[in-house]
Amino acid sequence: MKDVTIYHNPRCSTSRSALAQLREAGIEPRIVEYLKSPPSRDELRAIAAANGSGVRGLLRRKEALYGELGLDDPTRSDEALLDAMLAHPSLIERPIVVTGRGARVCRPPERLREILP
């Protein structure tokens, strides 16, 4: 399968597991270490749409900043959430895999199967 991207944190065991599953399936994805090279606002919007979860579904709720910035407030707009993720890439949930069949936050890693052939 061509054009597979994983937004990856090599320090995260779940992210490493998803990457291993891709490789076991014979797929060598484009690896984006999103803490070093975060996706753009437009990329995050596209990922959220392809994931079907909306922008809020891309937020890492376990991150301390999530609570500190009040991102659990349901009245926060998508633009405000995107602003927070762009300013603090650690707020982006991981891993995210994008294929021609969609995008998934692969937490648990088995969600990857939903977008593989």
Contact partners, residue 54, CB within 8 Å, separation at least 6: 48, 78
Catalytic residue among 1, 5, 12, 17: 12
Residue with tokens 């990856």: 8
Which among 54, 68, 63, 108 has a CA at the least distance from the CA of 90? 63
How far apart are alpha carbons 21 and 110 in whole angstroms? 9
Q: What is the pLDDT of residues 37-92, one digit of tens each?
A: 999 999 999 999 999 999 999 999 999 999 999 999 999 999 999 999 999 999 99
Is 106 in the active site? no
Chain Cα centroid distance, residue 16: 13
CATH number at residue 58: 3.40.30.10
In terms of residue numbers, what domain contains 51? Answer: 5-115
* Total domains in the fold of the chain: 1
Which among 90, 106, 107, 94 has a CA at the least distance from the CA of 35? 90
Over residues 18-22, the mean pLDDT reads 96
